[in-house]
Amino acid sequence: MMDWLLGGCCGPGGRLVFTTEPWIIGVATLGVLVALILAAIPRPRGRARIAEVAFLTAAAGVLLGAVAGPVWIQEGDRVEAGRYVALVDASRSMQVLEGDGTPRSDQVAARLAALPPGTEVFAFGDGLRPGVPITYDAGDTDLGGALAAVAQRYAGEKLEGVAVLSDGIDRGGLRRRVLGEADAVLPRLNGPLTVYQIGEDGGRTDVSVTDVRAGGFAFLRAPFAIEVDVRAVGTSARSVPVTLTRDGQPVGQKTVALDAEGRGTARFEVTPEAVGRFIYEAATPVTAGDAVPANNALSLAVRVVRDRVRVLQVCGSPSFDQKFLRLFLKEDPAVDLVSFFILRTDRDMGAGWDSSELSLIQFPYEKLFSSELWSFDLVIFQNFDYRPYFDNNANELLGNIARYVKENGKAFVMMGGDRSFDLGAYAGTPIADILPVQLGVSGEAIDPGAFAPRLTEGGARHPITQLVGEPTENTRAWAGLSQLDGLNLSRGASQGAAVLLEHPTLKGPDDKPLPVLAVGEYGAGRSMALLGDSSWRWSFAEAGEGRGNQAYLRFWKNAARWLIGDPEDQPVVVEANRDNYQIGEEVRITTKVRNVSFAPVAEAKVDITVDGPGGREKLEGRTGADGSVALTLPASDRGAHRVKVVAHGASGATVGEAQTAFAVTTRDPELEEVEPDSAFLRTLAARTGGQYVAAGERAAPLRDPDAGRRVRDRAETRLYAAPLVPLLFGLFLSISWWIRRRAGYR
């Protein structure tokens, strides 16, 4: 009763604390005194009056005490009994059927029932969540992470024990460390560990492809190896056939010999004939009784790139520009360079000189620009005049170069000088059709004045002119380069071409600045025009600051990459957000469309064709303001899928096309292994000083009798809110009023 009146227990050993600010208590006290004085002065003295004021003062004292906010605080320590924690593996490998046809997860309930009463149970997969697993569908198993989470959750507490119920198929790294590293740092445990194996050893048959290795990329027309690891358990077979396919088409088949542990490796040698991304899949036959048929196949995405770029450099005369570019191309290990310069003509042969008196070999132009031309990826005309060499078949040989670009998807560069562009009489030739500048200048065809080229809006975006990744710094980098010595004049950019660098003052017939660097796409190929012969000076802008010749090198590396059609530098780029998908997952295909200046193309119509084992699916959409569109489709058919995208501009003309590939699989990474790993579970228990309990065995868990935790208790009784306060206040005030009325006062 007393505890109720006081608002709680006010046991011994506590202390009284007033929670109201002192100045508030002082103001309240002053107010109460003034009120009492005013109430006592006008009344005549007597016993009744004294009693009235006394009880009124008592009521005021109760009120004042409540305003002060008294709280009775008691603090102390107590020890709680230690808690027992169980971790249950909730991954999908726990669904594997045992020899009696039941899932191994059915063994969990019996194990939990044998643990101490009140055991706190947590399910773990790639995370930790409280409670017994309702479904065993976690996509990963990270036992090390689960043990670390328990240690953090119960930090500072000594647990009575920790039990782990798992099949031991750990994918989080703890298994590798326990079995492979003698000095590995293991998770800190808060109590003795008992490991219960879930699932019997043996008793099931499974053939699986455990790994496919080939590296992330391969080189065009260069053989590379794909190695396939297989494993067979529960079978007497000593060999397994393995089939390799690329985008669903057969590549080869091998028979793999198995060792005593049922492991083997098949090695395939593959020679890719095209660049791009391809899906290779290794598979073994699914036999009756296979525990997990989904792990009999495994896919791998391989990106095929060019090994070396074959470049033909033809120079009409020696120069610093020729020397610097030849040195750059020759020192690049990714370039196979064939270079001709200071060329000997038929006129030299007809001048009466003997071959032994001429130090130069004759220029084999007919062979180069006919049968040999198609073996090159890039042709560079550097201050080269074709007329002294080609004689009567110039139109045919120059026409070969135009077809080489348009039809074969190759690249062409013309650089300036006194033998290039209009000074080389290229106007009206087939070469003029693949140049991004218009020839046919009347009058002077060259301006000798020095100038600093200016980066255009298109140049600020284009990959060729990206000397620095950050836009502002890139513009500053171009502004800081050395001036060029002169410019080959033109009639401006060709239709559809992009000007990346322009002259700061000279203008063409269209009143636009004359191009210094222009690029264009012609048929399946690309072309670049650099209307100057002193780009070598860009080597010295940074060299003077002790930073080498990086600007010059970056420019030509970027140019070569764009010209040969690197997949990332195409006007249309398509990619799937992953290489592999599970059946039922959503495949997201993103397409980016850019024009020749690499500006995003908005409202471009995108047609996507997806060819897979189940047939062909078509998607279509339009790009947004950023030039991209993302379309989705469900992954419904197992196997390789090839994606082809064709983009059309507002006029309906084709902007470009691109391809990629992805694979759909029924393979579950969590089911790559089906045999419980008793070696891991046994070693984990031994290395942590715990206990291992095999499947089917009975053993009480390890328990620490001294486990427990010290708990700090704090009890606060708010006396100002106790029921006794209003009772006393009302009682004293009522008695005071009653005495006053009995004395005849109002």
DSSP one-letter code for 82: P
Q: Is 678:168 a contact under the CB 8 Å cutoff? A: yes
Sequence-separated (6 or more) residues with CB below 8 Å from residue 507: 513, 514
Axis crossing angle, helix 550-563 with helix 320-331, rounded to the nearest 10: 70
Identify the CATH number of the domain in which residue 516 sits. 3.40.50.880
Q: How many residues are recorded in the chain? A: 746
Instruction: Looking at the structure, tell me whether residues 397 and 542 fall in a common domain.
Output: yes
Structure tokens at 66: 């409540």
Mean pLDDT of 244-249: 90
Q: What is the percent of the chain where pLDDT is above 90?
A: 40
pLDDT of residue 170: 92
Mean pLDDT of 228-238: 87
Q: How far apart are CA 632 and CA 589, in angstroms?
A: 6
Q: How far apart are CA 10 and CA 12, in angstroms?
A: 7
Is 147 a member of any domain? yes
pLDDT in tens, 14-58: 778 888 888 887 777 787 777 777 666 655 566 777 777 777 787
Q: How far apart are CA 208 and CA 666, in angstroms?
A: 13
367 vs 259 pLDDT, higher one: 259
Is 699 a member of any domain? no
CA dihedral 732→734→739→740, nearest 10 degrees, is 110
Q: How far apart are the first and last CA of the chain?
A: 37
Dihedral-angle region of residue 528 (phi above 0 means left; psi in -120 to 50 means alpha; beta otherwise):
beta
pLDDT in tens, 379-420: 999 999 888 877 678 889 999 999 999 998 899 999 999 999
Q: Is 315:339 a contact under the CB 8 Å cutoff? A: yes
Query: Could you tell me the residue range of the domain that residue 368 belongs to?
Result: 309-563
What radius of gyration do the chain's Cα atoms show?
A: 43
CA atoms within 13 A on the CB side of 430: 16
pLDDT in tens, 151-187: 999 987 889 999 999 999 998 889 989 998 888 888 8
pLDDT of residue 744: 67
Strand order in the sheet with 639-648: 580-582, 654-665, 639-648, 605-612, 615-622
Is 697 a member of any domain? no
Strand order in the sheet with 239-246: 217-219, 297-305, 276-283, 239-246, 249-257
Identify the CATH number of the domain in which residue 161 sits. 3.40.50.410
Q: Is 52:740 a contact under the CB 8 Å cutoff? A: yes
Is 698 a member of any domain? no
Q: Is the pTM of this model over 0.85?
A: no
pLDDT of residue 542: 52
Instruction: Looking at the structure, tell me whether residues 343 and 406 fall in a common domain.
Output: yes
- Residue finishing a domain among 306, 326, 356: 306
Report CA-CA distances (Å) from 403 to 37, 392, 413, 448: 116, 19, 14, 33
Chain mean position to CA 616: 29
Mean pLDDT of 525-553: 76
pLDDT reading at 505 higher than 90: yes
pLDDT of residue 346: 53
Is 468 a member of any domain? yes
pLDDT confidence tier of residue 671, bands split at 50, 70 and 90: confident
Identify the CATH number of the domain in which residue 272 sits. 2.60.40.10
pLDDT reading at 362 higher than 90: no
Structure tokens at 2: 């007393």
Instruction: Looking at the structure, tell me whether residues 196 and 211 fall in a common domain.
Output: no
669 in helix, strand or coil? helix
Tell me which range, 226-230, 299-303, 345-349, is most confidently predicted by mean pLDDT: 226-230
> Considering only CA atoms, which of 193, 285, 299 is closest in space to residue 239?
285
Is 267 a member of any domain? yes
Instruction: Looking at the structure, tell me whether residues 639 and 575 fall in a common domain.
Output: yes
Sequence-separated (6 or more) residues with CB below 8 Å from residue 742: 48
Instruction: Looking at the structure, tell me whether residues 481 and 589 fall in a common domain.
Output: no
Q: Which residues pair with 76 in a beta bridge?
A: 713
Instruction: Looking at the structure, tell me whether residues 195 and 162 fall in a common domain.
Output: yes
Q: Which of these ranges, 98-102, 472-476, 516-520, has the smallest mean pLDDT?
A: 98-102
Q: How far apart are CA 179 and CA 177, in angstroms?
A: 6
Report CA-CA distances (Å) from 334 to 247, 337, 381: 28, 10, 20
- Residue finishing a domain among 539, 563, 587: 563
Which H or E run contains 398?
helix 394-406
Q: How far apart are CA 353 and CA 278, in angstroms?
A: 57
CA atoms within 13 A on the CB side of 161: 21
pLDDT of residue 544: 47
Q: What is the percent of the chain where pLDDT is above 70?
A: 91
Sequence-separated (6 or more) residues with CB below 8 Å from residue 674: 93, 96, 204, 206, 233, 291, 292, 295
Is 709 a member of any domain? no
Instruction: Looking at the structure, tell me whether residues 182 and 230 fall in a common domain.
Output: no
- Residue finishing a domain among 523, 540, 563: 563
Task: List the beta strands (DSSP E) in 214-296.
Answer: 217-219, 224-233, 239-246, 249-257, 263-270, 276-283
Q: Is 503:516 a contact under the CB 8 Å cutoff? A: yes
Q: Is 158:707 a contact under the CB 8 Å cutoff? A: yes
pLDDT of residue 14: 75
Instruction: Looking at the structure, tell me whether residues 140 and 257 fall in a common domain.
Output: no
Sequence-separated (6 or more) residues with CB below 8 Å from residue 38: none
Average pLDDT, the chain: 85
pLDDT in tens, 568-615: 677 888 989 888 888 888 999 999 998 877 788 899 999 999 998 889
pLDDT of residue 619: 94
Instruction: Looking at the structure, tell me whether residues 281 and 183 fall in a common domain.
Output: no
Which H or E run contains 656?
strand 654-665
Instruction: Looking at the structure, tell me whether residues 406 and 325 fall in a common domain.
Output: yes
pLDDT reading at 354 higher than 60: no
Domains contained in the chain, number: 5
**Burial of residue 680, with CB atoms counted within 10 A of its CB: 0-12 exposed, 13-18 middle, 19 or more buried:** buried
Instruction: Looking at the structure, tell me whether residues 188 and 91 fall in a common domain.
Output: yes
Is 607 a member of any domain? yes
Q: Which residues pair with 584 in a beta bridge?
A: none
Q: How far apart are CA 48 and CA 30, in angstroms?
A: 25
pLDDT confidence tier of residue 351, bands split at 50, 70 and 90: very low
Instruction: Looking at the structure, tell me whether residues 177 and 319 fall in a common domain.
Output: no
Q: How far apart are CA 247 and CA 388, in angstroms?
A: 51
pLDDT of residue 357: 42
Q: Is 121:132 a contact under the CB 8 Å cutoff? A: yes
Q: Which residues pair with 305 in a beta bridge?
A: 219
Which H or E run contains 48?
helix 47-67
Structure tokens at 421: 């562009």
Which ranges of 450-499 does DSSP label H, i.e. alpha helix? 457-461, 471-479
pLDDT reading at 355 higher than 60: no
DSSP one-letter code for 95: G
pLDDT of residue 91: 93
Mean pLDDT of 103-119: 94
pLDDT reading at 727 higher than 50: yes
